[in-house]
Amino acid sequence: MDVEAESVTKLIFSEDIPEKWKENPDFYYYLSKLGSYSVDQLAKEPDRLADEKASVLTQTQELAFDNYKTFIQTAECSRAIFQQFNKTEESLECLVKGLPVLSAACEEFAHASSEIKTHRRLNSLTLTRNAQLLQVLEIPQLMDSCIRDGYFEEALQLASYVRRLGNKHSDIPIIENIVKEVEAAWWTLMHQLIAQLRCDLQLPRCLQVVGYLRRMEIFTEAELRLKFLQARDSWFQSLLAAIPTDDANQHLMRTIELSRIHLFNIITQYRAVFSDDESVLSSTKQHSLSDSTIFHSWIIDKVNQFINVLEQDLNKGVGSSLSSLLGQSMYFGLSFSRVGADFRALIAPIFVKTVINNFTSAVRKATKRFDVDMEKFTLPKILSSAHYSDLKEEKKITLKLEQQALSASEKEAFTRFCVCFAEDLLPYIQNCLHIIYKPADIAKYLGVTTFNLQEQKLTYLNQAEILDPINHLLPVKLPVLPVTNSSSERTKTVTDQDSRKDMTVDEILVRM
């Protein structure tokens, strides 16, 4: 309201205006109208208001009297409406109290219906993807079939797919179970591949199997090398174990043959699979110590194993095939030179030892036989065995004939025997040694001359030392004088000497 209306209000109402009037626009209108009245009008205004009030009251009474039925109906309607409003208020209060429960029930229903809807959608989706789900569920069975039938490439692809699937859907229990089953089959695949390496494999298949093991990423490089050598060696040892051991000669020949063929194949396969080892003894490349040591140790172990078998079988006795075994063994050692592991230097001492043992045994047998033959020689009064035993420790058995009482003809025959021993038997043995061990070859191998061999008594018998015990029994050689013999006698003498050189020891003894 304006300032004038406010001033008028304060003059009329000493106290504050009732609240219900403040909201009535007619009140302010009437105040503004009063403000426009003059003093006379203001003096007459109370009387006018009293008259207007009496008139309104009279009209109201008349209206009520004339329309009392309507007022009664209105009162009844008002009472009915009031009652209805009370009922409505009570119902609204009940509704307000029940709305939270209804809201909770609606939310629960909405949640349940949402889950049902989700399940229904999943069931529908599962029905539409039934074929694809079956393929996923059958992966473990398919993995086992691939491993069992040897389709290792497909098995590796399946395992890789399952790993990706597991990383993407690790929260799904059925996927987790499939991953576990495939992991179990993964180890079966590893054992299957290693079992393949324990069979007779060609190089392409060997490369393929090791490639599969590399892709599995189970072993480190050093572990893979070790597993490869263990598996291949297991197969090789099974071949060696199958060789019959009844005949040492056949066992050794078969061992040499199998070792030469299969060990070289294994080395070739290893170098093809692990191409960084260009040579077994190569030092030009920087390799991992563990990687190179594994292969070197395996090579050394196989060579030592063969050397042990060679020594054992040679000690058992191989008869007359020693030269053939020597040739095969040296060829075996030479074949390893292509991979930098020539071990012929280890073979030679074993055969030298065997030859020495065989030669020593043969000499002992020949000496024993010679002793027996000399005991049976047709000269009277052989010395007693006790006396013979004492002489045997110091001289050759031929000297016991000297101790006997011989006639003149027997002494002449004994002298001829000694001459034959000195001039025929010893040169014959010397000739045999030079046929077996040619001085020219020995001198070339040692880098000396044949004269040096003779000075050092290498392959040359010390005839003076051998003949020293019976030297006094040999006739004194006279100086050679020019004599005039007939041509026929000279021819006969030469012929006898030549024929004597070609005779064996037994023939010489018979002629004596």
- Quick one: which of 402, 414, 422 has its CA closest to 464? 422
Residue 482 inside a domain? The answer is yes
Confidence of residue 485 (pLDDT cuts 50, 70, 90): very low
Q: How many residues does the chain have?
A: 512
Residue 397: DSSP 8-state: G
Alpha helices in 37-67 (DSSP H): 39-66
Residue 39 inside a domain? The answer is no
The average pLDDT across 157-185 equals: 81
Alpha-carbon separation of residue 63 from 55, 58, 74 (angstroms):
12, 8, 14
Query: Which residues are CB-neighbours of 172 under 8 A, at least 6 positions away?
Result: none
Residues 57 and 63 sit within 8 Å (Cβ to Cβ): no
DSSP string, 297-323: HHHHHHHHHHHHHHHHHHHH--TT-HH
The reported pTM is 0.54
* Range of weakest confidence among 106-120, 126-140, 417-431, 496-510: 496-510
Tokens for 166?
């597991």
- The pLDDT score that the predictor gives to residue 400 is 55
Question: Residue 472, Cβ neighbours under 10 Å: how many?
Answer: 8
The average pLDDT across 196-221 equals: 86
- The pLDDT score that the predictor gives to residue 84 is 92
Query: What is the tens place of the pLDDT at every residue in 211-226?
Result: 888 888 888 888 888 8
- The pLDDT score that the predictor gives to residue 130 is 72
* Range of weakest confidence among 16-30, 49-63, 249-263: 16-30
Query: What is the tens place of the pLDDT at every residue in 103-147?
Result: 888 888 888 888 888 888 888 887 777 777 777 777 888 888 888
Give the C-alpha separation, 85 to 96, whole Å.
16
Q: Is the pLDDT of residue 308 over 60?
A: yes
The average pLDDT across 295-308 equals: 89
The average pLDDT across 38-54 equals: 85
- The pLDDT score that the predictor gives to residue 319 is 66
Q: Is the pLDDT of residue 455 over 80?
A: yes
The proportion of the chain whose per-residue pLDDT surpasses 90, expressed as a percent, equals 6
Residues 221 and 288 sit within 8 Å (Cβ to Cβ): yes
Residue 502 inside a domain? The answer is yes
Tokens for 251?
């066992």
- Quick one: which of 258, 253, 280, 285 has its CA closest to 342? 280
Domain count, the chain: 1
- Quick one: which of 244, 255, 246, 253 has its CA closest to 321? 253
- The pLDDT score that the predictor gives to residue 279 is 43
Residues 391 and 399 sit within 8 Å (Cβ to Cβ): yes
Give the C-alpha separation, 6 to 322, whole Å.
149
Residue 23: DSSP 8-state: T
Instruction: Kindly calculate the radius of gyration of the chain based on its CA atoms and give it in whole angstroms.
Output: 66
- The pLDDT score that the predictor gives to residue 2 is 61
Residue 188 inside a domain? The answer is no
- The pLDDT score that the predictor gives to residue 402 is 53
Mean pLDDT of the chain: 78
The average pLDDT across 40-51 equals: 84
- The pLDDT score that the predictor gives to residue 401 is 53
Greatest mean pLDDT among 49-58, 141-150, 272-281, 361-370: 49-58
The proportion of the chain whose per-residue pLDDT surpasses 70, expressed as a percent, equals 80
Alpha helices in 317-343 (DSSP H): 322-335
The average pLDDT across 478-494 equals: 43
Q: Is the pLDDT of residue 508 over 50?
A: no
Alpha-carbon separation of residue 44 from 5, 50, 235 (angstroms):
20, 10, 141
- The pLDDT score that the predictor gives to residue 68 is 83
Give the C-alpha separation, 190 to 184, whole Å.
10
Rounded to an integer, what is the distance from CA 315 to the centroid of its chain? 38
Residue 471 inside a domain? The answer is yes
Confidence of residue 413 (pLDDT cuts 50, 70, 90): confident
Q: Which residue range(s) make up the domain with 427?
A: 407-511
The average pLDDT across 422-435 equals: 89
Residues 219 and 187 sit within 8 Å (Cβ to Cβ): no
Q: Is the pLDDT of residue 277 over 70?
A: no
Residue 52 inside a domain? The answer is no
* Range of weakest confidence among 246-255, 308-317, 392-401: 392-401
Rounded to an integer, what is the distance from CA 394 to the centroid of its chain? 67
- The pLDDT score that the predictor gives to residue 487 is 39
- Quick one: which of 265, 262, 292 has its CA closest to 280? 292
- The pLDDT score that the predictor gives to residue 21 is 74
Say which residue, 481 or 177, is predicted with more confidence.
177
Question: Is residue 163 within a helix (H) or strand (E), and if so which, with residue range?
Answer: helix 152-168
The set of long-range contacts for 159-165, using a CB threshold of 8 Å and a minimum separation of 24, is 159/185, 159/186, 159/189, 165/136
- The pLDDT score that the predictor gives to residue 6 is 66
- The pLDDT score that the predictor gives to residue 235 is 92
Tokens for 421?
């021993």
Residue 491 inside a domain? The answer is yes
Residue 450 inside a domain? The answer is yes
- The pLDDT score that the predictor gives to residue 437 is 83
H helices, E strands: number in the chain: 24, 0
Residues 358 and 322 sit within 8 Å (Cβ to Cβ): yes
Give the C-alpha separation, 98 to 92, whole Å.
10
- The pLDDT score that the predictor gives to residue 317 is 76
